[in-house]
């Protein structure tokens, strides 16, 4: 490239990059109007300069969009994390409250798994007779399976309507989910103290009546 050409290009570049003093700009513009060769080279360099600017803007815009996407994704994950945290806190709070409740209410019904060898019962104490619908209430029947003296299952099954009666009759009624329990008036227990326990002990079905902490045989057989 000749020195003249190089100078010309540098002159154009200074113009397209706006690195000229006002008088020099004016001189350049006058020369531009008069010189077709200069004008052609100027047009090309101006277009390249414009193209460069566009490409820079594009690169910056794209980077901006990518950054925005990363932020959107981060926000989405943060929201999911927050929801999970709230869910876990809810579970934790629920369990905590239940523990507190159990601690403050030691009398609250708790499922105790009775051991076969500690069950107390008195078969002579016959007090389950008669039927009445006068003041029935439901008692859940706990079912326990014991095979070869090993506890193999414990679950609440079914429910029975229990009626406390003061007039004796002959039979224990265990039909239509109703059982009538006879007590002399002076020994009438609180209904909260009564529960029914169905045990299957080595294949034999036994229905126990629990009054307080004492168990009474209610019915035996399959």
Partner 1 sequence: MSKDQDGRNDENVLVGFCKGEGKEYLRAIECLDKNCRPKVVSWLLKHQMDKRQAKEIYEEALTDAYVNLCILKKPLTTSLCGYIFSISRNKWRKEMGSKGIPVEPPPEPPVNPMDEGIIPPEIIKACRGRLSQRCRDILDDADRGLSMEEIAKKYGYSDDRSAKQTKYRCWADFVNCVKEQLSKEI
Closer to partner 1 by CB, 54 or 116: give it.
Answer: 54
Residue 124 has, within 13 A of its CA and on its CB side, a CA count of 0
CB of 41 to partner 1, least distance (A): 10
User: Looking at 27, 33, 65, 188, which residue binds partner 1 (CB under 8 A)?
Assistant: 65
CB of 57 to partner 1, least distance (A): 5
- Could you say whether residue 54 binds partner 1 (CB under 8 A)? yes
* Closest distance to partner 1 from the beta carbon of 61 (Å): 4
Q: How far is the CB of 2 from partner 1 (least distance, A)?
A: 15
Binding to partner 1 by residue 64, rule CB under 8 A? yes
**Cα dihedral angle (193, 199, 204, 207), rounded to 10 degrees?**
20
- Contact between 80 and partner 1 by CB under 8 A: the answer reads no
Selected from 27, 44, 78, 86, the binder of partner 1 by CB under 8 A is 44
Q: Which of 27, 35, 69, 159 binds partner 1 (CB under 8 A)?
A: 69
Does position 55 bind partner 1 by CB under 8 A? yes
Size of the site for partner 1 (CB under 8 A): 27
Q: How many CB atoms lie within 10 A of CB 215?
A: 20
- Tally of CB atoms within 10 A around 212: 11
Q: Which residues does residue 114 pair with via DSSP β-bridges, in sequence order?
A: none
- 29 to each of 11, 18, 23, 70, how far by Cα in Å? 11, 13, 10, 48
Instruction: Answer yes or no whether residue 48 interacts with partner 1 by CB under 8 A.
Output: yes
The closest alpha carbon to 209, from 174, 166, 169, belongs to 174
Contact 15, 28 (CB under 8 A): yes
Residue identified by tokens 């002990």 is 201
47 binding partner 1? (CB under 8 A): yes
d(CA 138, CA 120): 23
- List contacts with partner 1 (CB under 8 A): 9-10, 13, 17, 19, 44-45, 47-48, 50-58, 61-62, 64-65, 68-69, 71-72, 75
């Amino acid at each position: 490239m000749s020195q003249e050409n190089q100078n010309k290009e540098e002159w154009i570049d200074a113009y397209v990059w706006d690195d000229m003093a006002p008088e020099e700009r004016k001189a350049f513009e006058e020369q531009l109007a008069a010189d077709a060769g200069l004008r052609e080279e100027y047009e090309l360099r101006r277009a390249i300069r414009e193209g460069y600017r566009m490409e820079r803007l594009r690169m910056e815009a794209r980077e901006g969009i990518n950054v925005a996407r990363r932020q959107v994704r981060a926000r989405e994950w943060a929201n999911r994390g927050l929801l999970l945290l709230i869910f876990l806190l809810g579970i934790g709070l629920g369990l905590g409250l239940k523990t507190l409740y159990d601690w403050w209410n030691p009398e609250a019904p708790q499922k105790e798994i009775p051991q076969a060898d500690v069950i107390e019962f008195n078969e002579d104490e016959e007090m389950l007779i008669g039927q009445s619908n006068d003041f029935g209430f439901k008692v859940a029947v706990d079912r326990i399976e014991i095979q070869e003296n090993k506890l193999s299952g414990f679950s609440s099954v079914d429910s029975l309507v229990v009626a406390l009666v003061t007039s004796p009759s002959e039979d224990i009624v265990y039909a239509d989910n109703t059982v009538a329990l006879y007590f002399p008036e002076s020994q009438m227990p609180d209904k909260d103290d009564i529960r029914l326990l169905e045990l299957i002990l080595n294949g034999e079905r036994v229905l126990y009546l629990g009054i307080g902490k004492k168990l009474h045989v209610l019915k035996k057989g399959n």
